[in-house]
C-alpha cells in the first residue's frame, strides 16, 4: 500500500485506514480478527477506534488482537475521547474527563501509548485552552505521541490549531477527522482550505456515504443492511434524495466502465482529493473490507474524476467562494 505523511508529522501511513466502529456491535471477534489480518496483509498501518465504540468493546477487541498479531510496532494506533453518548452533556473535553478517558483507553487497548489521540467533537462547555492543555499533558507524559481533532467546523479547527502552534513547547495538531465522501463534500467549503493552510491532514469517516455509495440501495433496501434497521435507518436515509440518486447512478456507470465496484471507485476518488491522508474503512464484515481494499489498486482516469466532481459538486457561496475569495 502506498504511504503518505500523517499530517505535518514524521509518521507515514498507508493511504487507506481501518475503522473499528462496528467492532463489538455488528462485527464479532472472529470477523474482527479476519479484518485485521486482511488489512495488515494489504500493507495497511493506520487503525482508528474510539473510547465509545461499542461502549469500549472496540478498544478491548483491538487491544487483544494487537497482542495476538504482535503488530504494535508496525501500526499507527488512533483513538478518540470527548464523546458521552446518551447523556445530557454529550461532549466533555475537560482536563479531568480527557485524562481519565485516556487512561481507560490505554488499559482497554493494553498499550503504553496512543500514536494519534483525537478530540471526537467540540465541547462548547469547556474552554479550548483547557482542552489543549490536557493534550499537552498527555503528550508530555509519554501516553500520546500526536493529537488531532474530529468534527470541528472551520473556525474551531483554525482556532485550536493556531493556538497549539504558537504555544511554546507544544506539539501541533496534525489531523482532522471529518465525514467526507461523494455524497458529503461540505468540508470543501472551509475545512479543506483550513487544513491546507494549517498543515494538517484529513481523515475521512464514512467515505462510502454511510453505505449508500456501495450501490446496494439503488433498487431496494437489503434486509440485513443498516437502511432496513429501525435503529439505524435514519442514519442512512440522510442520503435518499434525488441528488444522492444522481451521484450513485453516475458512480455505478463509472464502475461498470472500469470493471470495478462502485465502492472501489468512490474510495479511489476520495483517496486522491486534496488534503486527504486516508479514508477510514469501517466495514461490518471481512468481505466488505476486502472489496474496499481493492481501491488501493485503482487509479481513476481524469475524465471519470471530472464527471464525478461535476455530479457531486457542493454548493459554494459567500463567504467561502466568490468575489471575496479571488485568488
Q: Which sequence positions are flagged as catalytic? A: 53
Q: Which three cell numbers stand for residue 79?
A: 483513538
CA distance 144 to 132: 13
Contacts with 245 (C-beta within 8 Å, 6 or more apart), sequence order: none
Please report how the helices 286-293 and 262-271 are oriented relative to each other, as an axis angle in degrees rounded to 10.
60
Which residues, listed in sequence order, are joined to residue 5 by a DSSP beta bridge? 12
Q: Judge whether 80 and 19 are in contact, CB under 8 Å.
A: no
Contacts with 271 (C-beta within 8 Å, 6 or more apart), sequence order: 15, 16, 278, 279, 295
Chain-centre distance for alpha carbon 112: 23
CA distance 276 to 202: 5
How many Cβ atoms are within 10 Å of 255's Cβ, its own excluded?
A: 19
What does the chain come to in residues? 327
Amino acid at each position: 500500500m502506498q504511504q503518505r505523511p500523517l499530517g505535518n508529522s514524521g509518521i507515514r501511513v498507508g493511504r487507506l485506514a481501518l475503522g473499528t466502529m462496528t467492532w463489538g456491535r455488528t462485527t464479532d471477534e472472529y470477523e474482527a480478527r479476519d479484518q485485521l489480518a486482511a488489512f495488515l496483509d494489504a500493507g495497511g498501518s493506520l487503525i482508528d477506534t474510539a473510547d465509545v465504540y461499542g461502549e469500549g468493546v472496540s478498544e478491548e477487541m483491538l487491544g487483544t488482537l494487537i497482542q495476538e498479531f504482535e503488530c504494535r510496532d508496525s501500526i499507527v494506533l488512533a483513538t478518540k475521547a470527548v464523546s458521552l453518548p446518551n447523556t445530557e452533556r454529550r461532549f466533555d473535553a475537560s482536563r479531568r474527563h480527557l485524562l481519565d478517558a485516556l487512561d481507560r483507553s490505554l488499559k482497554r487497548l493494553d498499550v503504553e501509548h496512543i500514536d494519534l489521540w483525537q478530540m471526537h467533537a467540540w465541547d462548547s462547555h469547556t474552554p479550548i485552552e483547557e482542552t489543549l492543555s490536557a493534550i499537552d499533558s498527555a503528550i508530555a507524559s509519554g501516553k500520546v505521541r500526536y493529537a488531532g481533532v474530529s468534527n470541528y467546523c472551520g473556525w474551531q479547527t483554525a482556532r485550536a490549531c493556531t493556538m497549539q502552534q504558537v504555544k511554546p513547547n507544544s506539539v501541533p495538531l496534525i489531523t482532522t477527522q471529518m465525514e467526507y465522501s461523494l455524497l458529503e463534500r461540505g468540508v470543501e467549503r472551509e475545512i479543506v482550505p483550513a487544513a491546507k493552510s494549517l498543515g494538517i491532514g484529513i481523515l475521512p469517516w464514512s467515505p462510502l456515504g454511510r453505505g449508500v455509495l456501495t450501490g446496494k440501495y439503488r433498487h431496494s433496501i437489503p434486509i440485513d443492511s443498516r437502511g432496513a434497521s429501525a435503529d439505524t435507518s435514519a442514519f442512512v436515509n440522510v442520503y435518499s434524495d434525488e441528488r444522492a440518486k444522481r451521484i450513485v447512478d453516475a458512480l455505478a456507470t463509472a464502475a461498470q466502465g472500469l470493471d470495478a465496484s462502485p465502492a472501489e471507485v468512490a474510495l479511489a476518488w476520495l483517496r486522491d482529493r486534496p488534503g486527504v491522508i486516508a479514508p477510514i474503512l469501517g466495514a461490518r464484515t471481512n468481505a466488505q473490507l476486502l472489496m474496499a481494499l481493492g481501491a488501493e489498486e485503482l487509479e481513476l482516469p481524469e475524465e471519470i474524476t471530472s464527471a464525478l466532481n461535476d455530479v457531486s459538486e457542493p454548493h459554494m457561496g459567500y463567504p467561502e467562494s466568490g468575489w471575496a475569495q479571488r485568488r
